[in-house]
Amino acid sequence: MRNAVGFYWTLPVPWAGFTELPKDIDEAAKASRTIRYQRELIRRYAKEHNLRLVAEEAFLEIKPDRGSEYVLDALRSAEKICREKNAQLLYVGFSEVHGWRGHGPLEAWVGRAGIDVDELYPDEIEVDGAKFDPHAHFGIWRKRQYEWSAKKQERVSLAKEEALKLRETGETYRDIAFRLNEANIRSATGKLWTEDMVRHLLHQAET
């Protein structure tokens, strides 16, 4: 029985509050349907091909709309485990279907990796008792991401209006950040407000 390492990745979704990924793989799978799908697909593949999964690594990208070279550190960590355990790396090749959810830096790394890497086709499978179709899932995600991006200026205007009102009542920048977050008034990127972000926002409103 040969050893294998599963590598799973996903994008953050700031507008849904998904900006962090637990280090524990099972907790990461609970936090992200995409990670959960990859974990299930690779675990099934390993079982069917008599592979022993000796490690599973999950990575959360830094931007909601693209893969980045930050993935290389995570891949080097997985590569080290592969070398130590004489294992092959398994990952899901999302871009195999209509070119969606591709990851240029990851795919370039695979092309020059000095270890055995197996790219799995993103088949539709049953996850948690229901069919999971990656193509349909990411199609919905892209639509919601587009809608979120289209309302960026609207979010900024609302935040400025509320922040100015609060500032006029004597609230500190820190208090304003707390109030905006409490009211679920998101920043342009979807991140929670901080004292410095509010200061910058109000400085822009004054110039």
Are 139 and 158 found together in one domain?
Answer: no
Give this prediction's pTM.
Answer: 0.76
Are 191 and 167 found together in one domain?
Answer: yes
Query: What confidence score (pLDDT) does residue 155 get?
Result: 87
Query: What confidence score (pLDDT) does residue 184 get?
Result: 87
Helical H segments across the chain, by residue range: 25-31, 33-48, 71-85, 104-112, 134-150, 152-168, 173-182, 195-206
Are 122 and 197 found together in one domain?
Answer: no
Convert the pLDDT of each residue in 121-139 to its tens digit: 999 999 988 898 888 877 7
Decide: residue 115, CB within 10 A, 0-12 exposed, 13-18 middle, 19+ buried. middle
Q: Percent of the chain having pLDDT more than 90?
A: 64
pLDDT tier at 96 (50, 70, 90 boundaries)?
low
Closest by CA to 27, choosing from 35, 19, 18, is 35
Query: What confidence score (pLDDT) does residue 99 get?
Result: 57
Mean pLDDT of 79-96: 93
The mean pLDDT value of the chain amounts to 90
Are 15 and 109 found together in one domain?
Answer: yes
Last residue of a domain, one of 148, 165, 191: 148
Are 83 and 180 found together in one domain?
Answer: no
Total domains in the fold of the chain:
2
Mean pLDDT of 110-124: 92
Convert the pLDDT of each residue in 26-79 to its tens digit: 999 999 999 999 999 999 999 999 999 999 999 999 887 788 999 999 999 999
Q: Which domain holds residue 181?
A: 152-206
What is the rounded CA–CA span in Å between residue 95 and residue 106? Answer: 11
Are 18 and 67 found together in one domain?
Answer: yes
pLDDT tier at 97 (50, 70, 90 boundaries)?
low
